[in-house]
Structure 1
Amino acid sequence: MKINDFKTFVVGNPPPHFGGRYWIFLKLTTDSGIVGFGEAYSVPFHPHVVEHMIGDVCERYVIGSDPFKIERLWRRVYGSGFTLRPDISIMGILSAIEMACWDIIGKELNKPIYELLGGQVHEKLRAYSYLYPEKQDKLCVYSDAETAAKRAAEYVKMGFTAVKFDPVGPYSAFDPRQLSLETLDHTEKFVKAVREAVGSKCDLLIGTHGQMTTSSAIRLAKRLEKFDPLWFEEPVPPENAAEMARVARQTSIPIATGERLATKYEFARLLAEQAASILQFALGRVGGILEAKKIAGMAEAHYAQIAPHLYCGPIECAANIQIDTCSPNFLIQESIQTCGGFHAEILKEPIRWENGYIIPPNKPGLGVELNEEVAVSNPYTGKELHLEMLDIPVN
């Protein structure tokens, strides 16, 4: 079997854009007609530039290759241009390619991917969501504590047993920063309001984005410990594992991180430094499905757990589900609300979400199929990137 064709889709995610402004999908086709899908997460260039980058890599390394030879293809792409390091641009592209190859392998063998990576461990997967605004919200769910508390209570009624939110405020290219007393007070009151709204029925996930210096993160953690969050996410930027480890040593709140990291090498550093006990790799960036399985195995040896990141499209979500299902140390899966809306529309059959849990599919490969007609009819025409930081310091 050989891969003989590829096609990319740059899809505009309609308002309210939950999951990002756009998604980049890859379709690989073999000489026997089997099709596999993958997704690249947040490569930091305009998506139509990324489309050309994917084409270049596919033409150099993928066309004519055997999709079963994952390790060989992975090393060739990882080392392209004399890199051999966790560059997130090439890793996003490689992740989409690798994901699509696994989809092909599963379809050829008529097995879900999780059955090829150790077999099913979990019958259902606990899920959480960010608190997203509704049209009827009069105030901002991201900054108004009462609105956030109200939404959190509604999520609990839907079946969620965990919700995530960032109470610290905007993130900037000039972070990390020392939070003001006013911001510390606001954040503490914000978390208190949400905890009182959900009681002990729901875990709170503090979803910060590396805004704080080490000392500031420790100050905030001391205030939040009494609300017993399940985790404190990326309290400092991910570039310095030693400083994140300093935060971890100073708080009882588990540290979670990983969405901006790639490959087993960066996650090995996290574990060696004891910087985090919950790993949040993004399947469309980390290096793909097998790379994530290797990281999950390393984490298991350190009694760390995995909680894959998701702020993109449903193909990456489907890949996350495959890893979650076969990993004994799976903790919880990020979901975009209940996997509905455009996330469901762009698939031929939606991902199953039931009362706070995702149900793993038993279909071969990723278990989902991209609706290409919907993808083509929703092209991205904007100029902004998937995610953008403020370009001025936050005072």
Structure 2
Amino acid sequence: EDLAPLLVGRDPREIERNWQILYRHPFFKGGAVTMSAISGIDQALWDISAKDLNVPLWRILGGLARDRVRMYDHLGGGNSDAVYNSDTVSSFEEKMKQSIKDGFTAVKILAVPQSAPLGDAAKLRHAGELMATARRAAGPDVDIMIDFHGRTTAAMAIQFAEVLAPYKPLFLEEIVPPDQHEALKRARAKITVPLATGERLLHRTEFLPLLEDGLIDVAQPDVCHAGGITELRKISALCDTYGVTMAPHNPLGPIATMVNVHLGLTTPNFLIQEVMRSDVSWRSEVFSGVPEIKDGHIYPPTSPGIGVEMDEKEAAKHPFVSGNPVQWFHNDGSVADW
């Protein structure tokens, strides 16, 4: 509602100018709420522009930079309980085998539990057991990524990395909270496993200090929060300058997934794409054109625009339902990052 008057009457195909208006004309720039709104509008403008030319989105993003996009699964297919609460060895083994059976060659796990700021030997031991189980179930050739979810201090991140490194993870994700630049520096100096972060960063200027200080190997901006397609292309180009690859954050639905696929198809320094497969039973009633994942990859779509369409009448049957906020506390009652 705040941004709509800025664009009413303008040509939707003037994507860059429209983006600049949305970002620069509000007096208070940026922030998660505004950037998320800009992201949604921007994706719609790109969809309109591609449909106006009757071509798939990847065509107007510069054409193909690769033949297919490699996808990675979440443990349990992305079911939130499986992702955040699968803390037993048996559940890790079962769900890892299912992802491999479904054709994925890469899987993300949260093997790092909530831990104390320092000296949590039991949690370190448990993380090692979970990762050992995941590696045995996956075999030596499947890539495993480990999401720390910004839960740990630099000191604990270093210790967890020492425990997990022998199992050859592809990367460690968000090892410290995203606002702790100096903590990331300290951890980076001690950790040899590739590091990824960026899902809570909203603009290329927030990635620049990480790149200048050599703190990340993989950037993970979210197309639904970091300014949409327009800004992600700029973040990707900036990262490419520093030899950093892209693995966009995507815990969302089929439209966001498809937008990321188009970006992956056209981005030279793209690495791998996150997907959440387990969401709601009525997804197929609301969305059409959702691509099939074949052998862990998605191939270039041929439909005009983004390629996934939403039935708004069906969607209206499933109104937003607010969930309980996530709250974590340490054993002594102090507040913990989750």
TM superposition score normalised by structure 1: 0.78
Counterpart of 2:175 in 1: which secondary structure? Answer: coil
Residue identity opposite 2:65 in structure 1:
V
- Structure 2, unmatched stretches of 5+, are none
Residue from 237, 257, 260 that aligns with 1:297: 237
In the superposition, relative to structure 1, how do residues 282 and 62 fare at CA in structure 2: closer, same or farther (>3 Å)? same
Counterpart for residue 45 of structure 1: none
The CA distance in 2 between the partners of 1:329 and 1:343, in whole Å, is 31
User: Are residues 1:70 and 2:15 paired?
Assistant: yes
The CA distance in 1 between the partners of 2:12 and 2:223, in whole Å, is 18
Residue from 328, 331, 337 that aligns with 1:390: 328
Query: Over residues 4-33 of structure 1, what are the superposed CA-to-partner deviations in whole Å (9 max), with x where a residue is unaligned?
Result: xxxxxxxxxxxxxxxxxxxxxxxxxxxxxx
User: Are residues 1:125 and 2:65 paired?
Assistant: no
Counterpart for residue 142 of structure 1: 86
Counterpart of 2:76 in 1: which secondary structure? Answer: coil
Counterpart of 1:127 in 2: which secondary structure? Answer: strand
Residue from 205, 215, 231 that aligns with 2:145: 205
Counterpart for residue 3 of structure 1: none
Counterpart for residue 307 of structure 1: 247
Counterpart for residue 5 of structure 1: none
Report which stretch shifted further, 341-350 or 288-297: 341-350
Query: Over residues 90-119 of structure 1, what are the superposed CA-to-partner deviations in whole Å (9 max), with x where a residue is unaligned?
Result: 000000000000000000012222221221
The CA distance in 1 between the partners of 2:45 and 2:220, in whole Å, is 23
The CA distance in 2 between the partners of 1:383 and 1:180, in whole Å, is 31
Query: Over residues 324-346 of structure 1, what are the superposed CA-to-partner deviations in whole Å (9 max), with x where a residue is unaligned?
Result: 01011111111113899544442
Residue identity opposite 2:216 in structure 1:
A
User: Are residues 1:381 and 2:321 paired?
Assistant: yes
Q: Counterparts of 1:250-329 in structure 2 under 5 Å?
A: 250-329=190-269
The CA distance in 2 between the partners of 1:295 and 1:133, in whole Å, is 28
The CA distance in 2 between the partners of 1:298 and 1:202, in whole Å, is 29
Contact 2:253 2:276 in 1 (8 A): no
Identity rate, percent = 31
The CA distance in 1 between the partners of 2:71 and 2:35, in whole Å, is 26
- Cα deviation for residue 307 of structure 1 reads 0.7
Contact 2:77 2:99 in 1 (8 A): no
User: Are residues 1:184 and 2:128 paired?
Assistant: no
In the superposition, relative to structure 1, how do residues 211 and 116 fare at CA in structure 2: closer, same or farther (>3 Å)? same
The CA distance in 2 between the partners of 1:195 and 1:382, in whole Å, is 36
Q: Work out the number of aligned pairs and report it.
A: 331
Contact 1:152 1:198 in 2 (8 A): yes
- Cα deviation for residue 178 of structure 1 reads 3.1
Contact 2:88 2:130 in 1 (8 A): yes
Counterpart for residue 158 of structure 2: 218
In the superposition, relative to structure 1, how do residues 265 and 155 fare at CA in structure 2: closer, same or farther (>3 Å)? same
Counterpart for residue 286 of structure 2: 346
Counterpart for residue 100 of structure 1: 44
Contact 1:130 1:163 in 2 (8 A): yes
Residue identity opposite 2:22 in structure 1:
V
Counterpart of 2:308 in 1: which secondary structure? Answer: coil
The CA distance in 1 between the partners of 2:169 and 2:78, in whole Å, is 24
Counterpart of 1:380 in 2: which secondary structure? Answer: coil
The CA distance in 2 between the partners of 1:134 and 1:211, in whole Å, is 19
Report which stretch shifted further, 100-109 or 352-361: 352-361
Contact 1:340 1:350 in 2 (8 A): no
Residue identity opposite 2:335 in structure 1:
P
The CA distance in 1 between the partners of 2:109 and 2:224, in whole Å, is 22
The CA distance in 1 between the partners of 2:241 and 2:336, in whole Å, is 39
- Cα deviation for residue 73 of structure 1 reads 1.8
In the superposition, relative to structure 1, how do residues 180 and 253 fare at CA in structure 2: closer, same or farther (>3 Å)? same
- Cα deviation for residue 233 of structure 1 reads 0.3
More helix by share: 2
Counterpart for residue 167 of structure 1: 111
